[in-house]
Amino acid sequence: MSRQVLILGATGSIGASTLKVLRNNPEAYDLYGVTGARNVAAMLDICREFSPQYAVMADPASNMALMDALRNEQLSTEVLAGEQAIAELAKAEAVDLVMAAIVGAAGLLPTLAAVEAGKTVLLANKEALVMSGAIFMDAAARSGAQILPVDSEHNAIFQCMPQAIQQALGHCDLQQAGVSKILLTGSGGPFRYHSIDALPVVSPAEACAHPNWSMGQKISVDSATMMNKGLEYIEAKRLFNTQPKQIEVIIHPQSIIHSMVQYCDGSVLAQMGQPDMATPIAHVMAYPQRITSGVEPLDFFSLGELSFIPPDFSRYPCLKLAIDACYDSQTATTCLNAANEIAVAAFLAGRIKFTQIAQVVAACLDGLDYLGSETELSVLLEVDQRARVQASAVVKRICG
């Protein structure tokens, strides 16, 4: 029987790669539902091609526009109203697989709803895990939800781990499994060879022009600052329950090795492939089986050389902020994530300089007040909101 798939964030970059995998495996999966924010044209195209049972746009005007367009074309997809309909879909009895691919904090509640309902959650929305941490992993342990990492690095690490670790994400013991270290690789983004002095004047278009991957705007900027690697560091800590010495960040400009696991006997296992998200998406959709993804196989003779560079925190201050926040507290990582979302949006809107993203985040972390138990979601949501207000104030001060 076909597995029923819900894509949260279907109109985005990960959504498109997920649809590519579905297109390659029409017998194995049915698209049950899709959600988006504002891109009605993209959603309409998805409904025409895949006839999902349900669709929701988070933006009410876009939801109305989608409803009208579907009616005009006499398409069968039913449009559900209201943002809470997204979380309702994530819990629906019929759904087997939930692709969590909304960008940023907006993805937290629907993703958590899927986790609490015990679904198989294909986790692309790293911000949801970064901002809620143990709450997220504990909810999965309680409900029996299987979390499968989509982020290419975490997917690579997952693939290189023994089954005992794969089945106990969030609560696993790396040392007992003979793992000495996770080697978390990243390309270093478009400015890895720029003069550091030139970074204040780089434009949003230059920051979004990633050398190897094609992604949404927010994660592209995060890759340029390496805040993305910082968020991934926190994500890796949460998924694989690491101690400080068990993760190392390595810049690997070619993005062929997607991350590695080093064992106590000296073995290092790496997962390699084209920089195309359809590969990790196909892996999590079929796990523990394998399906085709539509991605070209690697041709080692055309690769040339693979290289590795240690990260320089003076070029990537956001990476340092994230690693420090990771070992400080959950509140600090929630604050870091929220402040970064505001700072990146301000940079994309031309309001602050590229190098000021780190300044905004640092100012918010400096001003962080302890608010109470960090094991309560309401406290973390409050931290998130306060950090956004503070980050907006810092942006305003910078703009003058």
- Contact partner at residue 124 from ligand NAD, Mg ion, none, CB < 5 to 8 Å by partner kind: ligand NAD
Residue 346 tokens read as: 């301000």
Residue 222 makes contact with Mg ion by CB under 5 A: no
Residue 235 makes contact with Mg ion by CB under 5 A: no
Residue 219 makes contact with ligand NAD by CB under 6 A: yes
- The residues near 386 (Cβ < 8 Å, ≥ 6 apart) are 335, 371
- H-helix or E-strand spanning residue 392: helix 377-399
| Binding residues with ligand NAD: total (CB under 6 A) | 25
* Choice between 125 and 363, CB closer to ligand NAD: 125
CA distance 219 to 224: 9
The nearest distance, CB 173 to ligand NAD, in angstroms, is 27
String marking each residue 330-369 x if it binds ligand NAD according to CB under 6 A: ----------------------------------------
* Choice between 13 and 132, CB closer to ligand NAD: 13
Residue 151 makes contact with Mg ion by CB under 5 A: yes
Residue 9 makes contact with ligand NAD by CB under 6 A: yes
**DSSP result, 96-149:** -EEEE---GGGGHHHHHHHHHTT-EEEE--HHHHHHHTHHHHHHHHHHTPEEEE
Cis peptide before 200 (omega within 30 of 0): no
Task: Name the β-bridge partners of 100.
Answer: 8, 123
Residue 70 tokens read as: 């579907």
CB closest to Mg ion, residue no: 151
The nearest distance, CB 143 to Mg ion, in angstroms, is 26
- The residues near 11 (Cβ < 8 Å, ≥ 6 apart) are 34, 36, 37, 39, 42, 43, 46
Could you give the C-alpha distances from 270 to 67, 156, 257, 393, in angstroms and in order? 46, 7, 6, 43
- Contact partner at residue 229 from ligand NAD, Mg ion, none, CB < 5 to 8 Å by partner kind: none
- Contact partner at residue 137 from ligand NAD, Mg ion, none, CB < 5 to 8 Å by partner kind: none
The nearest distance, CB 267 to ligand NAD, in angstroms, is 27
Q: Where in 83-112 is the site for ligand NAD (CB under 6 A)?
A: 101-103, 106
Binding residues for Mg ion (CB under 5 A): 151-153
